[in-house]
Amino acid sequence: MTTHVPQGADHLRSDDTGPERPVSQTDQSSPDAKFPGALVWADERVGAAKGLRFALKKVFPDHWSFLLGEIAMYSMIIALITGTFLTLWFVPSMGHVTYDGAYVPLKGVGMSEAYASTLDISFEVKGGLLIRQLHHWSALFFIVGIALHAARVFFTGAFRKPREINWVIGVVLSLLAAIEGFAGYSLPDDLLSGTGIRAMNGFMMSAPVIGTWMTFFVFGGEFPGESIIPRLYIAHVLLLPAIIVGLFVLHLALVVIHKHTQYPGPGRTNDNVVGFPIMPVYAAKAGGFFFVVFGITALVSALVQINGVWVYGPYDPTQVTAGSQPDFYMWFSDGALRLLPGWLEFTLFDTVWSFNIFLGSLVLLPLVWMVLGAYPFIEAWITGDKREHHILQRPRNAPTRTAIGLAAISMYLVLALACVNDILAIKLGLSINDLTILFRTLFFVLPVLVFFMAKRVCLSLQRHDRERVLHGNETGRIVRTPEGRFFESHEPLDEYERWALVDYETPTPTGLTQGPEVDRRGVARRRSPLSGLRDRLSSFFYTDTVSAVTPAELAAAHHHGEHDALEEASSPQLGVPVNDSIGDDDFSDPHGSAVHAPPRHH
């Protein structure tokens, strides 16, 4: 299942990579065995050797973008460790106390025990403020890591069969991470977090018919009550972390079961994984990366204040501060509320229907994650692609998906920025009303613009790739022939480089693969009610695709050396499967017999 390309110091370990090592056959309890006693002990009792061998032989491909998920993983671990520390001092209670701690500007002010204990952690517990800031920064970086990782998986098509379930698990994890974050920053019971809880209270109340009952159930009575902090606390420290860790383990287990995806490259096929085994290389890299992530987070936490709860003062429902925003991962929902027009709230049947809030919160929040989770299935249905994929796509080679993803991100960003419209207004000297109109317009216009721009950029990049494969890289050297003609000489790509540029397929819209509507005997093809829609979507998905250079085109480019011949051979044709036999042709052996004559540009 695994292959190694000899690389770097690999030959030093060449004996590590044999398919079966004789040492595994030896009597491990004999005095000659080279295994540490503890391992032997463990193997004899729980059969650790088998599992260890499986785990240690796992091969991971090398690419920086595969480390983005690890940023999230390590940030989560940092948040777990620092969070445990915080529970030793935090008092999850809304019981009333008068503050008499070290922070002078709040001395004698009445507040909840939750807020007072957060102040104590910040000002009196040794290292408490640093740990608090580590906890909050790592929580932010956790979500940043998730977003980057999700973007990588999306834009490279790593969610395709067989990894759809793992994508869904990841989507659920990102939702839980956001809820966990919300529960966390709500706990200190300062003016800002209380305002956030008040917003949540309003979200729930906007639910038609059941809203009021739902809020009373969650808050144990009228807002704010005395139950919400203890309830959020148990969700934050027990319920959500348990589910997150459980799903995370499943997420990783599925990565192991599916094996890691890899970018196209020489020697990489749909049936292998090219990379380094866990021991020793990958363990060193991944372990080292943990410390890099921890180091950066610690540095940031030591130098940059985050959520200085003392700035806000204790929560009091009669107060609010300008610049109240949630943490960034909740911005899009808050931003939607700022953009939704007020006339969406109306009275009908003696009841107020707050659709101006309902749509931006209780509808939008689940909708975003549902669309995310459903995307792999929608795309698979549209493209009709039921094969397994272990080779990633470069984003440019899936232009429509890349454009859809970027359009969705632009939509999300518009909503998110609408949430900081007040900060943008004062920092840029703009009017908040104009910004609202601008964002309302951009919400509809920007995704369309971004879609077309992204798609055009992808297609141009694909054409550029074709150009490079067929003609080589521009050198900037102008050659003059004895007849007086000028041309720029091109340097041919080497085979390794070329591989990555041609190893992708250009699918055919489903409408073109199923034969005519009516066959020779006059029998109409059976069509499901949705197949017309599907065919249309499919051709939308694959319209304008630029196909990879085929060996024939390359040969034509090289052997004829004439540009007109080239143009003919290389013009991309829609709907012609050109690259099916990529594994069996000239490209397949980067080491072996050179098959292409170097391009002859005279």
Partner 1 sequence: MSFLAARRRSPLALLVLILLGLAFTGTAYAALQPTASPGTSSASASADEIAEGRELFLGNCATCHGANGEGNGNDGPSLHGVGAASVDFQVATGRMPLPAPGVQAERNISQVKFSEEQIEALAAYVDSLAPGPDVPEEQWLDYAEGDVDNGGAVYRTNCAMCHNSSGTGGALTRGKYAPTLMGVDEQHIYEAMLTGPQSMPVFNDQNITPEEKRDVIAFLKSIEEGGNDHGGHTLGSFGPAGDALFAWTLGVLAFIAAAVWLGRKAA
Residues 364-383 that bind partner 1 (CB under 8 A): none
Residue 41 interacts with partner 1 (CB under 8 A): yes or no: no
- Give the per-residue contact string, 191-230, with partner 1 (x = CB under 8 A; - = no): xx--------------------------------------
Whether 347 contacts 353, CB under 8 Å: yes
Residue 5 interacts with partner 1 (CB under 8 A): yes or no: no
Residue 100 interacts with partner 1 (CB under 8 A): yes or no: no
Judge residue 401's burial from the number of C-beta atoms within 10 Å of its C-beta, 0-12 exposed, 13-18 middle, 19 or more buried. buried
Q: State which residue, 330 or 450, has the beta carbon closest to partner 1.
A: 330
Give me the least distance between CB of 140 and partner 1, in Å please: 5
Give me the least distance between CB of 460 and partner 1, in Å please: 13
Tell me which amino acid residue 159 is: F
Work out which of 66, 219, 223, 542 binds partner 1, going by CB under 8 A. Answer: 66
Residue 516 interacts with partner 1 (CB under 8 A): yes or no: no
Q: State which residue, 313 or 376, has the beta carbon closest to partner 1.
A: 313
Residue 187 interacts with partner 1 (CB under 8 A): yes or no: no
Site for partner 1 in 127-166 (CB under 8 A): 129-130, 133, 136-137, 140-141, 144-145, 148
Q: State which residue, 66 or 203, has the beta carbon closest to partner 1.
A: 66
- Give the per-residue contact string, 421-450, with partner 1 (x = CB under 8 A; - = no): xxx-xx--xxxxxxx--x------------
Give me the least distance between CB of 596 and partner 1, in Å please: 28
Residue 360 interacts with partner 1 (CB under 8 A): yes or no: no
Work out which of 35, 89, 123, 353 binds partner 1, going by CB under 8 A. Answer: 123
Question: Which listed range, 327-335, 343-351, 382-390, 394-402, lies at the site for partner 1 (CB under 8 A)?
Answer: 327-335
Whether 89 contacts 120, CB under 8 Å: yes
Residue 307 interacts with partner 1 (CB under 8 A): yes or no: yes
177-182-183 Cα angle (round to 5): 95
Give me the least distance between CB of 448 and partner 1, in Å please: 19
Site for partner 1 in 496-515 (CB under 8 A): none
Whether 86 contacts 132, CB under 8 Å: yes
Whether 195 contacts 324, CB under 8 Å: yes
Q: State which residue, 208 or 317, has the beta carbon closest to partner 1.
A: 317
Residue 108 backbone dihedrals phi, psi, to 5 degrees: 85, 0
Question: DSSP H helical segments within 342-398, as ranges?
Answer: 355-358, 364-383
Q: State which residue, 125 or 382, has the beta carbon closest to partner 1.
A: 125
Whether 106 contacts 119, CB under 8 Å: yes
Residue 115 interacts with partner 1 (CB under 8 A): yes or no: no
Work out which of 155, 233, 276, 504 binds partner 1, going by CB under 8 A. Answer: 276
Give me the least distance between CB of 351 and partner 1, in Å please: 30
Work out which of 229, 281, 339, 418 binds partner 1, going by CB under 8 A. Answer: 281
Collapsing DSSP to helix, strand or coil, 50 comes out as helix
Closest CA to 461 of 549, 527, 396: 396
178-179-184 Cα angle (round to 5): 100
Residue 480 backbone dihedrals phi, psi, to 5 degrees: -110, 130
Residue 90 interacts with partner 1 (CB under 8 A): yes or no: no
Alpha carbon distances (Å) from 206 to 351, 354, 387, 540, 584: 11, 5, 44, 38, 61
288-294-295 Cα angle (round to 5): 90
Q: Give the single-character DSSP code of 105.
A: G
Residue 475 interacts with partner 1 (CB under 8 A): yes or no: no
Give me the least distance between CB of 452 and partner 1, in Å please: 17
Question: Which listed range, 208-216, 324-332, 353-361, 560-568, lies at the site for partner 1 (CB under 8 A)?
Answer: 324-332
Closest CA to 503 of 580, 431, 566: 580
Work out which of 331, 332, 358, 542 binds partner 1, going by CB under 8 A. Answer: 331
Closest CA to 465 of 401, 395, 517, 528: 395
Long-range contacts of 558-561 (CB under 8 A, 24+ apart): 558/596, 558/597, 558/598, 558/599, 558/600, 559/597, 561/599, 561/600, 561/601, 561/602
Instruction: Please tell me the distance from the alpha carbon of residue 230 to that of residue 596, in angstroms, as a whole number.
Output: 71
Closest CA to 339 of 425, 439, 458: 439
- Give the per-residue contact string, 241-260, with partner 1 (x = CB under 8 A; - = no): --------------------
Question: Which listed range, 106-114, 213-221, 358-366, 440-448, lies at the site for partner 1 (CB under 8 A)?
Answer: 106-114
Work out which of 38, 104, 523, 524 binds partner 1, going by CB under 8 A. Answer: 104
Give me the least distance between CB of 90 and partner 1, in Å please: 17
Residue 73 interacts with partner 1 (CB under 8 A): yes or no: no
Give the helix/strand (H/E) hosting 277.
strand 276-277
Closest CA to 470 of 568, 329, 358: 568
How many residues sit in the footprint of partner 1 (CB under 8 A)? 81
Give me the least distance between CB of 70 and partner 1, in Å please: 8
Q: State which residue, 452 or 540, has the beta carbon closest to partner 1.
A: 452
Whether 470 contacts 554, CB under 8 Å: yes
Residue 96 interacts with partner 1 (CB under 8 A): yes or no: no
Closest CA to 250 of 258, 238, 239: 258
Residue 293 interacts with partner 1 (CB under 8 A): yes or no: yes
Whether 276 contacts 270, CB under 8 Å: no
Site for partner 1 in 44-63 (CB under 8 A): 62-63
Question: Which listed range, 2-10, 456-464, 534-542, 551-559, lies at the site for partner 1 (CB under 8 A)?
Answer: 2-10
Q: State which residue, 166 or 297, has the beta carbon closest to partner 1.
A: 297
